[in-house]
């Protein structure tokens, strides 16, 4: 029997008509005209009439999709790779050997341990001057003493921590040493799942949420022998420093918030409540609180660190990174957490060059001259960093920061993805439970982003491709770029392109608040980034300053 082929357009037209017939209320031409105005387009009346049935069909599709809204952990069937098929200039795959000094003495005042570096603490552990259990109890006590003051702790993981610490002590005593993080306590931003504990995302709708898995980065740190002692505050759904239990405080000024969204991680490290902590960044959430609290933060290359078990805000922009006292310490943590994450399709496993083996004077270093020329309150400190680098023997070259594409317009990519990640809140009306309800808060951003057309989102990502090529072309001439942390649009641009950033304290402004400088590196080349930043920190010493209220008694 001969088959009759029905043209595809007739099938589509039939389905559209069928869907439209099921609608309780049709879409008027006036609605189409007004919707067009929302997105800056005008359509003739005859075109509106033709669009009507198709739009009604789409609306039915939207309803069907909303009835099956995926869980936050479900990744879209779209992948983003800042390399676009190019082979990265991989850093060495050889294990990094981290130098641990073996001449560190136990302080006469034990409270001074609060501000010891990871290598110093590791030395005490290896020499047997202190056990991991004792060190863990020390930092748990500080978290209990000052956690409420800073409003920086959501959950203490005390039983898990003590068990991990005792295990570390047995292994170290037996000579089974795993590396510089073995036995070192730390904290993690509470958007990282830990089995058996709440993962609240800092937001009322999720404050009792328990996710029965442990995030990849936590498992990596377990493998390195590190000891998780607390889950730290974050601004609700990774924005700002306001969470369902309060406002995380800046250790340098308790009347001020710590900025965010890695609010608790930054505040706790600055106040000596933790040697290091994990934060995340989508658009400034490591850079901003690190600046406000005066700590060193490393935002790795996009895809460098696996994100399974982490709350998704923007699948193509989210990054997990460490916050510590110095650049070298952040690299130690990065080395531990960068291992293969088979559940994150965005993750790329690459090696890490040991920063200690890089001579900073051999690096090609540029500075974004137009951003340093801009007038701001921190300009004196920003220029001083350049002077410091020159005194260190670093040859600085002017680098342009201008692109042909409209980079500032691409922020809608984040908004569209964030609105999709939390669409269930918007559709259900549970967004009203979030603490902040201003024009510049997530509920309004989520609602507004629903009017971003899919076509514009896709075209924005196509322009993003061009932006990435432009930034990569610029970076081919440099190993590291030095820039004001909040100069121009570099923070937005480098988060869109996935380039790594190390932010470090650079002094204090006239009000006594910490200020910072940022170092931008090539994709997957964090070793060079850290080498220059650490050399400058050794020269300047700004990272050694601590907030007086939390200093040893």
DSSP letters along 21-43, please?
A: HT-SSPPPHHHHHHHHHHTT---
Most trustworthy range by pLDDT among 33-37, 56-60, 223-227? 223-227
What is the sign, positive or negative, of the torsion defined by CA atoms of 133, 139, 140, 141? positive
In angstroms, the CA 183 to CA 167 distance is 9
Q: Does residue 449 lie within any of the structural domains?
A: no
Judge if 223 and 286 occupy the same domain.
yes
What DSSP string runs through 193-251?
--TTSB--TTSGGGTT-B-SS--HHHHHHHHTT-EEEEEE--STTSSSSEETTEEPEET
Judge if 484 and 360 occupy the same domain.
yes
Judge if 329 and 196 occupy the same domain.
yes
Q: Total domain count for the chain?
A: 2
Judge if 294 and 226 occupy the same domain.
yes
Instruction: Return the pLDDT at 9.
Output: 42
At residue 127 the predicted structure's pLDDT band, cuts being 50, 70 and 90, is very high
Judge if 209 and 318 occupy the same domain.
yes
Judge if 41 and 181 occupy the same domain.
no
Q: Does residue 45 lie within any of the structural domains?
A: yes
- The stretch 477-501 carries a mean pLDDT of 97
- Cis peptide upstream of residue 261 (ω within 30 degrees of 0): yes
Instruction: Return the pLDDT at 75.
Output: 86
Q: Does residue 107 lie within any of the structural domains?
A: no
Instruction: Return the pLDDT at 157.
Output: 98
What is the sign, positive or negative, of the torsion defined by CA atoms of 225, 227, 231, 234? negative
Judge if 41 and 148 occupy the same domain.
no
Judge if 48 and 187 occupy the same domain.
no
The alpha carbon of residue 155 and the mean position of all alpha carbons in its chain are separated, in whole angstroms, by 20
Length of the chain: 553
End-to-end Cα, the chain, rounded Å: 94
pTM of the predicted model as reported, rounded to 2 decimal places: 0.91
Q: Does residue 441 lie within any of the structural domains?
A: no
Least confident of 46-50, 84-88, 340-344, 395-399: 84-88
Judge if 182 and 309 occupy the same domain.
yes
- The stretch 439-465 carries a mean pLDDT of 92
Does residue 115 carry a pLDDT above 50?
Answer: yes
Q: What DSSP state is assigned to residue 75?
A: P
Q: Cα–Cα distances in Å, from 149 out to 153, 271, 288? A: 10, 11, 21
Does residue 224 carry a pLDDT above 50?
Answer: yes
- The stretch 123-128 carries a mean pLDDT of 98
Instruction: Return the pLDDT at 23.
Output: 42
Does residue 535 carry a pLDDT above 50?
Answer: yes
Mean of the per-residue pLDDT values of the chain: 93
Does residue 58 carry a pLDDT above 70?
Answer: yes
Q: Give the range of the structural domain holding residue 24, as residue numbers without chain letter.
A: 8-66
Instruction: Return the pLDDT at 511.
Output: 92
Q: Does residue 514 lie within any of the structural domains?
A: yes
Look at residues 50, 66, 82 and tell me which one is the last residue of a structural domain. 66
Q: Does residue 40 lie within any of the structural domains?
A: yes
Least confident of 52-61, 140-149, 350-359, 361-370: 52-61
Task: With CA atoms as reference, report the closest residue to 122 among 108, 102, 141, 142.
Answer: 102
pLDDT tens, 274-284? 999 999 999 99
Judge if 53 and 136 occupy the same domain.
no
Q: What DSSP state is assigned to residue 404?
A: S
Judge if 52 and 128 occupy the same domain.
no
Q: Does residue 446 lie within any of the structural domains?
A: no
Query: Whose structure tokens read 């043209």?
Result: 7
Does residue 38 carry a pLDDT above 80?
Answer: yes
Instruction: Return the pLDDT at 91.
Output: 62
Q: Does residue 491 lie within any of the structural domains?
A: yes
Judge if 57 and 166 occupy the same domain.
no
Structure tokens at 430: 């549970």
Instruction: Return the pLDDT at 15.
Output: 42
Q: What is the CATH number of the domain that holds 196?
A: 3.90.1300.10
Instruction: Return the pLDDT at 18.
Output: 45
Task: With CA atoms as reference, report the closest residue to 137 among 105, 107, 169, 108.
Answer: 169
């Amino acid at each position: 029997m001969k088959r009759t082929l029905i043209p595809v357009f007739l099938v589509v037209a039939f389905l559209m008509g069928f869907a439209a017939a099921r609608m309780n209320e049709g879409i008027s031409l006036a609605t189409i005209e007004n919707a067009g105005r929302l997105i800056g387009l005008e359509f003739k009346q005859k075109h509106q009439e033709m669009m009507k049935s198709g739009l009604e069909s789409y609306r039915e599709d939207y309803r069907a999709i909303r009835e099956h809204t995926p869980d936050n952990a479900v990744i879209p069937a779209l992948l983003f790779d800042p390399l676009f098929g190019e082979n990265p200039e991989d850093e060495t795959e050889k294990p990094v050997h981290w130098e641990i000094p073996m001449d560190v003495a136990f302080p006469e005042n034990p409270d001074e341990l609060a501000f010891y570096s990871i290598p110093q603490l590791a030395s005490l552990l290896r020499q047997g001057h202190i056990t991991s259990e004792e060190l863990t109890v020390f930092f748990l006590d500080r978290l209990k003493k000052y956690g409420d003051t800073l409003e920086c702790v959501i959950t203490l993981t005390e039983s898990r921590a003590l068990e991990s610490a005792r295990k570390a002590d047995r292994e170290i005593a037996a000579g089974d040493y795993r590396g510089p993080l073995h036995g070192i306590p730390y904290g993690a931003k509470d958007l990282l799942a830990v089995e058996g504990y709440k993962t609240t995302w800092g937001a009322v709708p999720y404050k009792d949420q328990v996710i029965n898995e442990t995030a990849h980065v936590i498992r990596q740190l377990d493998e390195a022998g590190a000891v998780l002692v607390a889950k730290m505050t974050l601004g609700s759904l990774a924005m700002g420093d306001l969470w369902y239990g309060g406002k995380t405080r800046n250790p340098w000024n308790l009347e001020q918030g710590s900025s965010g969204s890695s609010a608790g991680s930054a505040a706790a490290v600055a106040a000596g409540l933790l040697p290091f902590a994990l934060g995340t960044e989508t658009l400034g959430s490591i850079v901003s609180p690190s600046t406000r609290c005066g700590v060193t933060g490393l935002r790795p290359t996009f895809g460098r660190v696996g994100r399974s078990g982490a709350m998704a805000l923007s699948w193509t922009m989210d990054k997990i990174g460490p916050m510590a006292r110095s650049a070298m310490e952040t690299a130690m943590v990065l080395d531990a957490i960068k291992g293969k994450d088979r559940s994150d399709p965005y993750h790329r496993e690459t090696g890490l060059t040991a920063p200690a083996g890089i001579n900073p004077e051999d690096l090609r270093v540029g500075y974004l001259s137009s951003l340093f020329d801009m007038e701001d309150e921190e300009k004196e400190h920003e220029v001083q960093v350049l002077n410091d680098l020159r005194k260190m023997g670093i040859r600085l070259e002017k680098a342009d920061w201008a692109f042909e594409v409209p980079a500032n317009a691409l922020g809608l990519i984040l908004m569209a993805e964030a609105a999709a990640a939390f669409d269930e809140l918007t559709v259900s009306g549970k967004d009203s439970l979030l603490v902040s309800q201003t024009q510049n808060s997530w509920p309004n951003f989520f609602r507004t982003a629903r009017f971003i057309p899919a076509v514009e989102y896709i075209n924005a990502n196509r322009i993003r491709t061009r932006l990435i090529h432009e930034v990569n072309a610029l970076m081919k001439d440099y190993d590291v770029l030095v820039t004001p942390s909040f100069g121009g649009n570099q923070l937005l641009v480098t988060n869109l392109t996935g380039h790594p950033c190390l932010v470090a304290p650079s002094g204090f402004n006239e009000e006594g608040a910490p200020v910072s400088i940022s170092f931008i590196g090539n994709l997957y080349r964090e070793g060079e980034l850290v080498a220059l930043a650490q050399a400058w920190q050794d020269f300047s010493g700004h990272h050694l300053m601590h907030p007086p209220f939390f200093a040893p008694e």
